Structure 1
Amino acid sequence: MALAWALAVLSLLPLLDAQSPECTKFTTVPITNATLDQLAGKWFYIASAFRFVEFRESAKEIQATFFHLLPNHTEDVVLVREYMTIGGKCVYNSSYLEVQRENGTLSKHADKPEATPEQLRAFQEAIVCMGMSKSEIMYTDEKKDVCGPLEKQHEEERKKEDVGS
């Protein structure tokens, strides 16, 4: 499952409650530890759509992005290690996401930078239900990713730290 699809579902679905009846299939359920375990791993940012011009303009600069999500069940946070290709350069960032268990949704992931046609359709349907147009979706191009070497370096450093512990 593509990161963009999952993030769209996770961040947009709570807003769909007041939408038209045709959008009723998009509902939310509480996040459990099992949900967090499903979110763990590597995700790829494939597409996004924003109503706010500032966000849309920022998203246009992104050529490719992938994330590593590492949930912490006891603190209800998820560590996000993000590798973005912007202007042909790799930009690395790490941050934490807070988990609001009662307002979340369930999702699964696959470790690949492509979305299936079904996943893209579901994402596009969610965008339309949010009152946006499919033409507002901006897609990334995984072929432009230049963050692979930095990711490998970080993985090697983590392995050395784990061995030393």
Structure 2
Amino acid sequence: MALHMILVMVSLLPLLEAQNPEHVNITIGDPITNETLSWLSDKWFFIGAAVLNPDYRQEIQKTQMVFFNLTPNLINDTMELREYHTIDDHCVYNSTHLGIQRENGTLSKYVGGVKIFADLIVLKMHGAFMLAFDLKDEKKRGLSLNAKRPDITPELREVFQKAVTHVGMDESEIIFVDWKKDRCSQQEKQQLELEKETKKDPEEGQA
């Protein structure tokens, strides 16, 4: 869903690092490094997105809350994506893998047999990153925001709002999710405990 949709709706946008929320500068993107991947290896919260594509906009409007975990594999340049979506007060879990294009600064995945690319926009000083898509299409362009904390600062919210207007959209297009409507935290906890026990059992059998 939410992150999945963001990866489906793709275009190119260079790396963005806003030092001042009053001045959002977009420049040519840098390659993705091991340092970047290590930083991405964490739990993230989907904060919201500005989406002009009507189909994807409708899907995001149904989404109450999303958080996900990214686990990069530095050997084969892939990244495990584990998503927890709260939709209609129910938790929906999804797991998949993303491709990493280091030189282009993009993430990718196969959707319907087609390889789709999303440009990674890192905001390290805010503990956040964006994904951009279809920026050249006035009817489909969009920008999403993901952060390490669900309760973002006013400064980060302003950075996102200004980035949205910078790429040719209006702040009114932004749809924010509500982290207080989360229904997946308990399921995530149970799943992590189950995986921990599964890993422990083989080790005990070898003892």
* TM-score tier after normalising by the smaller chain length: 0.7 to 0.9
Q: Which has the higher helix share?
A: 1
- Does 1 or 2 have the higher relative contact order (CA < 8 Å, sep 6+)? 1
What's the counterpart of residue 66 of structure 1? 67
Extract unaligned runs of 5+ from structure 1: 17-22
Larger-gyration structure (1/2):
2
Match of 1:142 among 170, 179, 184: 179
User: Which residue does 1:20 correspond to in 2?
Assistant: none
Determine which structure has the larger strand proportion and give its number.
Answer: 2
CA distance in 1, matches of 2:65, 2:178: 6
Q: How many residues align?
A: 153
Q: What residue is the counterpart of 2:94 in the other structure? A: 93
- TM-score, structure 1 length as denominator? 0.82
Q: Using the TM superposition, give the Cα deviation of residue 13 of structure 1 relative to its aligned residue in structure 2, in angstroms.
A: 2.6
In structure 2, the partner of 1:13 is 13
Task: Give the corresponding residue for 2:38.
Answer: 37
Q: CA deviation at 1:149?
A: 1.3
Structure 2 Cα separation of the partners of residues 141 and 128 of structure 1: 22
Distance in 1 of aligned mates of 2:75 and 2:55: 35
8 Å CA contact retained: 1:39, 1:107: no
Q: Which of 143, 157, 172 in structure 2 is aligned with 1:120?
A: 157
Aligned identity (percent) is 44
* Corresponding letter in the other structure for 2:25: K
Is 1:103 paired with 2:140? no
Aligned residues of 1:29 and 1:106 also touching (Cα < 8 A): no
Contact 1:14 1:103 in 2 (8 A): no
Task: Give the structure-2-normalised TM-score.
Answer: 0.66
Aligned CA-pair RMSD: 2.6
Q: Where do 5+ consecutive residues of structure 2 fail to align? A: 17-22, 106-120, 128-146, 203-207
